Amino acid sequence: MDTSELKAASARYPKPPDLTPAYGTAGFRALADLLPSTVFRCGVLMVARSLKGGGNTGLVVTASHNPEADNGVKLVDPSGCMLEQAWESHADRLAAADTDEVVCAAVQELFRTEDIPYGTGVVMVAHDTRPSAAGLAAAAVAGVIALGGVAIPCGLLTTPQLHWMVRQANASAKHDEGAYFGALADGFATLVGRSPAPVQAVVVDCANGVGGAKLRALAERLGPQRLPLDVRNAGGAACSGGGLNDRCGAEHVQKERAVPIGCADIGVGGRCASLDGDADRIVFWTLADGGGMTLFDGDRIAALAALLVRDLLAALPADEHTPTVGVVQTAYANGASTAYLAGLGLAVVCTLTGVKHLHAAAEAFDAGIYFEANGHGTVLFGQRLVQRLHELPDDCEAARDLLALESMVNQAVGDALSGLLLVEAVLRQRGWGLAEWGALYTDLPSRQLKVRVRDRSVVRTTDAETRTVAPDGLQQAIDAAVQAAPGGRAFVRPSGTEDVVRVYAEADTQPAADALAAEVMRAVHDLAG
Ligand code: 16G
Ligand code: ZN
């Protein structure tokens, strides 16, 4: 393999000497200024992945809900899903190479160990709205070209849009942005039928990110008569004082339970939603009578999705194979939501945090619903079920609705725009408002805290992060604290995206949940600090 071109190109993207980038929960993230070498090398990597997987791959420059000065890169496999986990170590090795020679050696080693055929890999490259994003996307393109690949510049896209496009492209299906909006809008139109649109527009806080412009385009495609939307914090000229993810967006709303900026005029009971900076998460919220916020998080979206899927599958004609349905959550799912889903008679599975883990577990079902409490999730339909739905007669309404759902809900990854339509469709079909949605179950009071420690990797977990195996004594301390709290549950895990250990606690009352979280935090300080 002649690596002279790669070496010369790599020299134009030198790695800062002290930087050892690590592929985190969903890719690389750092201050944007530190990232050109990492992104260049990811471009190189995704050419190799394309050659190995025999299809287009994708790369999107974004740091999701992180502050505007940060950036990052998310990598898309030929399936449209996130990069195969076995390749994360290849990404680490390449990103951490100290010299251009080591970069070339790492690439040669990769081709050898993975037995990659030589050829022309194709990488679709997109980016979010960060000021640093276009420059970093150019670094990715340079990386693609340096390994003899073809880069398809896709410009400004939400992360889920790029995942969707890669998946469609490799299925030789239409994969332009118009096709994406069409899939979502047509699916929604079928699901809501002729039922009248709500009088009150849904207010959507777009975190001043890429979701703003994309939601506007989707709204236009849907038409106000189908779904009236009031788009806020759309970025650019419509930016209401804050920058990207600054005091707004899904992460802010879910973690702080605070009304986003630009939404101060929202009245009690208004139906609102917040996206994150790259529009792969959505949570709903409203203002309660006393002024407090009521949050409708990913767990609650999963409950609506589960009701819809369960009922539609039950309405299909009997078949010798009854489709399996499962809901996948993480340890962060509120205990009340887990109990509710189990009560519906559905399989409920708990996995590690991070979409890649939930997605993989959901694929085991004919219909797999997964949502993280933070609002990232989707509904996956297996091949066998989709084929059966296509074979059923045209007048089978349940089959028609399920196929509409499959088209509306991004099959590659969680998508805030799909999530918005999913919630609206289910509420509309049932004639429900937020009150009925909220009444499905009552959340157990919970508290999340972060602890800064010297080295968060000393905390090691097992059983889908619900228990710790290190450091010594920590799990015993957590068990003792949980025992003392009525209805208590608590766990800790090292964050995959921030230099902190996260603490989660829930209990029968808010003071008890707060006290349990504080007690567990103390134990982390004492034993892992
Ligand atoms: C990333 C993950 C998200 C996870 C979060 C956990 C994807 C696309 N995103 O944002 O799923 O909930 O990390 O962050 O996988 P943490 O490790 O800092 O708690
Ligand atoms: Zn995101």
Q: How far apart are CA 156 and CA 224, in angstroms?
A: 24
Quick one: CA torsion of 427, 247, 507, 296, rounded to 10 degrees? 0
Which of 286, 301, 272 has the alpha carbon at shortest distance from 426? 301
Q: How crowded is residue 396: how many other Cβ atoms within 10 Å of its Cβ?
A: 16
Atom number, ligand 1, closest to the C-alpha of residue 496: 17
Judge whether 324 is annotated as a binding position: no
d(CA 6, CA 108): 11
User: In one letter, which amino acid is 522?
Assistant: R
The residue assigned the tokens 């979409």 is 355
| CATH number at 298-438 | 3.40.120.10
User: ipTM exceeding 0.95?
Assistant: yes
Can you tell me which residue has the tokens 């919630």?
423
3-state SS class at 223: coil
Class of domain 178-294: alpha beta
- Coil vs helix vs strand at 402: helix
> Residue 63 and residue 26: Cα distance in Å, rounded?
10
- 57 has binding-site annotation: no
Q: Name the closest ligand to CA 74.
A: 1
CA of 390 to the centre of ligand 2 (A): 33
Residue 372 marked in a binding site: yes
The finding on whether 24 has its CB within 6 A of some atom of ligand 1 is: no
Residue nearest to atom 16 of ligand 1 (CA): 495
CA of 283 relative to ligand 1 center, distance in Å: 15
Q: Annotation-wise, does 71 bind a ligand?
A: no
Three-class secondary structure assignment of 456-493: HHHCEEECCCCEEEECCCHHHHHHHHHHHCCCCEEEEE
Cα separation of 408 and 238, whole Å? Answer: 27
φ/ψ (deg, to 5) at 57: -115, 180
At 196 the pLDDT is 76
Q: Give residue 64 CA to ligand 2 midpoint distance, Å.
A: 4
Query: Which residues of the chain have a pLDDT value below 50?
Result: 238-240
Query: How far away, in angstroms, is 25 Cα from ligand 2 center?
Result: 12
For residue 391, give every residue at least 6 positions away whose Cβ sits within 8 Å of its Cβ, in sequence order, or none. none
Domain 446-528 fold is TATA-Binding Protein (3.30.310)
Helix (H) or strand (E) holding 215: helix 211-222
121 near 57, Cβ under 8 Å? yes
The three-class DSSP label of residue 375 is coil
Atom 4 in ligand 1: residue holding the nearest Cα: 354
209-254 per-position pLDDT tens digit: 999 999 999 999 998 889 999 999 998 754 445 699 999 999 999 9
Ligand nearest to the CA of 163: 1
Nearest-angstrom CA–CA distance, 380 and 80? 13
Q: Is 448 in the pocket of ligand 1 (CB under 6 A)?
A: no
| Residue 1 CA to ligand 2 centre (angstroms) | 37
Ligand 1 neighbourhood includes 56 CB (under 6 angstroms): no
Ligand 1 atom closest to Cα of 502?
Answer: 19
| CB 63 near ligand 1, within 6 Å | no
| Residue 374 CA, closest ligand 1 atom number | 12
Q: Could you tell me if the CB of 214 is within 6 A of ligand 1?
A: no
Q: How far apart are CA 21 and CA 95, in angstroms?
A: 6
What is the full DSSP assignment across 71-127? EEEEEE-TTSSBPPGGGHHHHHHHHH-SSHHHHHHHHHHHHHHTTPPPS--EEEEEE
Q: Dihedral of CA 481/482/488/494: which sign?
A: positive
Give the residue, by CA position, lying nearest to ligand 1 atom 19. Answer: 495
Same fold, 4-156 and 178-294: yes
With a 6 Å cutoff on the Cβ, whether 64 touches ligand 1 is yes
Q: Indicate which atom in ligand 1 lies nearest the CA of residue 65.
A: 10
How many whole angstroms from 297 Cα to the centroid of ligand 2? 15
222 Cα–ligand 2 center, Å = 24
Q: Using an 8 Å Cβ cutoff, are 377 and 298 in contact?
A: yes
- 151 is known to lie in a ligand binding site: no
Sequence ranges of the domains in the chain: 4-156, 178-294, 298-438, 446-528
Nearest atom in ligand 1 to the alpha carbon of residue 280 is 8
Distance, in Å, from the CA atom of 311 to the CA atom of 401, rounded to the nearest integer, reads 11
Q: Is the CB of 79 under 6 A from ligand 1?
A: no
- Tokens 């998460």 — which residue? 281
Position in ligand 1 atom list of the atom nearest CA 64: 10
Cβ(30)–Cβ(72) under 8 Å? yes
Q: Mutate which of 161, 410, 497, 502 to test ligand 1's pocket (most atoms within 8 Å of Cβ)?
A: 497
pLDDT digits (tens, 9 = 90+) for 169-201: 999 999 999 999 999 999 999 999 877 777 789
Q: How far is Cα 415 from Cα 265, in angstroms, rounded to an integer?
A: 27
CATH assignment, 4-156: 3.40.120.10
**Ligand 1 neighbour 251 (Cβ under 6 A):** no
Q: Which residues are catalytic?
A: 64
Cα 139 from chain centre: 24
What single string gives the DSSP state of each residue in 408-446? HS-SSS--HHHHHHHHHHHHHHHT--HHHHHTT--PPPE
Helix (H) or strand (E) holding 272: strand 272-275
What is the pLDDT, as a whole number, of residue 239?
47
456 known member of a binding site: no
Report the C-alpha dihedral over residues 89, 94, 99, 101, rounded to 10 degrees: 110
Ligand 1 neighbourhood includes 418 CB (under 6 angstroms): no
User: Is 278 assigned a ligand-binding role in the annotation?
Assistant: yes
User: How many Å apart are CA 73 and CA 80, to the nearest integer?
Assistant: 15
Q: How many CB atoms lie within 10 A of CB 491?
A: 21
CB atoms < 10 A from the CB of 391, how many?
9
Amino acid at position 192, single letter: V
Indicate whether residue 65 lines ligand 1 (CB < 6 A).
Answer: no
